[in-house]
Homo-oligomer: A and B are copies of this chain.
């Protein structure tokens, strides 16, 4: 068990590597990121250690440090892998609200495909997020083009994203987290609503319903706001500046 590589662990058998630079490349930053994502999916966030990652790559833990800055950097690599799968293409063809809805669902799916990463990525601040920046640029450009005031777009996007992230965290929480079994007398309204929901949704995950309701509501609210703005008297509701919304100037 404390022998680092063995025939018994489902790994390919091979002779142990000796000290010194290997003759063929065994590690790269992206190989590490991919192995990390696989390890996360298999063993969860708790089982995700540098040792286990090294083991999966048939290497000693210290070898990883030739390619990444540390564990946080590995996680940053995983983030890139996942955010590459978020689809912003709808912003090129659809109206802003429909595009945002497709974006939100794609965002959710990208996370949901790898549940253990959600808490990890939610928690760890983004570093060197070049690709994430590109994604934002696409969304911002489309919103401004549609007529959203430039000083309000970012906050609007962040608001939607916050909802998506919060929903992803909710989706990953154990389903029976709030099962009121045995407490019906203490929390009668809750228990009754819990039973009513269970009866209504059947086998679909509860988190899906909350996501649909919330996304629909937030987009509805944003559409109303957009209507106010484009109706003409577009004094910002937020921010002390009170700057009038500018006409779209960029892109």
Contact = CB atoms under 8 A, between A and B. Distances in A.
Contact of A196 (B151, B194, B216): B151
Contact of A136 (B137, B190, B225): B190
Interface residues of A, number: 83
Given A122-B122, A159-B210, A189 B250 contact: yes
A245 B213 CA distance: 16
Contacts of A82: none
Contacts of A213: 152, 155-156, 159, 225, 238
**Chain A contact residues: over half helix, strand or loop, or mixed?**
helix
Q: Which of A144, A173, A221 has the most CB of B within 10 A?
A: A221
Interface string A60-94: 00000000000000000000000000000000000
Given A134-B187, A192-B150, A243-B200, A216 B210 contact: no
Given A161-B166, A165-B166, A193 B153 contact: yes
Interface string A170-188: 1001100110100100111
